[in-house]
Amino acid sequence: MQGLAYGLDKPVVGVPTLAALAAGVDGERILAVIDARMGELYLAGYERQDGKLVEIVPTGVFKPSALPALPAGDWIGAGSGFAVQNDALQAAYGQQLQRVDATCIPHARGVLQLALPEFLAGRAVPAHKLDLLYIRNKVALTSLEQAKLRAA
């Protein structure tokens, strides 16, 4: 999106992938979880407040053995993280999860739903000034790390 906007000289608004995922889920509290590979999960918790999606569990990358606590209440789980680490997620959050959709993916509708109010409020920026959010700096395991992970 940033490359297209730059080439067309159009302003942009950044939308986090986990927020776009949560925006497409029907419910009050959504736990968005995506497989981060390397045995980790990208995770954030959102709540709908006054028609807006508000992050109430900060975005992070987590080992399945070190998941953050959720605020009290019922949650809906969404995302590929539930397909690959369902046992750990159920152990941590099973009591709070009303339902889970492990096939849910971010959709352009969710991006538009989150970006449009920002555009209308005048918060778009030139494409070359958009700051990208990287949750994890390391994106691949070394051969030795891969072998140790397989052995475990």
Give 62-68's long-range contacts (Cβ < 8 A, gap of 24+). Answer: 63/39, 64/39, 64/40, 64/88, 64/89, 67/41, 67/43, 67/92, 67/93, 68/43
pLDDT tens track, the chain, 152 positions = 888 998 999 999 999 999 999 999 999 999 999 999 889 999 999 999 998 999 999 999 999 999 999 999 999 999 999 999 999 999 999 999 999 999 999 999 999 999 999 999 999 999 999 887 777 766 566 778 777 877 87
**What is the spatial distance between Cα 69 and Cα 111, in angstroms, rounded to a whole number?**
27
**DSSP symbols for 6-64:** HHHT-EE----HHHHHHHTS-SSEEEEEEEEETTEEEEEEEEEETTEEEEEEEEEEE-G
Q: What is the pLDDT of residue 137?
A: 65
For residue 151 the two structure tokens come to 């052995």
Q: Where are the domains of the chain?
A: 2-151
Sequence-distant (6+) residues with CB within 8 A of 101 are 25, 76, 77, 78, 79, 82
For residue 15 the two structure tokens come to 């939308």
CA proximity to 27, closest of 101, 137, 87: 101
Instruction: Name the superfamily (CATH) of residues 2-151.
Output: ATPase, nucleotide binding domain (3.30.420.40)
| Side chain identity at residue 91, one-letter code | A
Q: What is the pLDDT of residue 133?
A: 77
Provide the whole-model pTM. Answer: 0.85
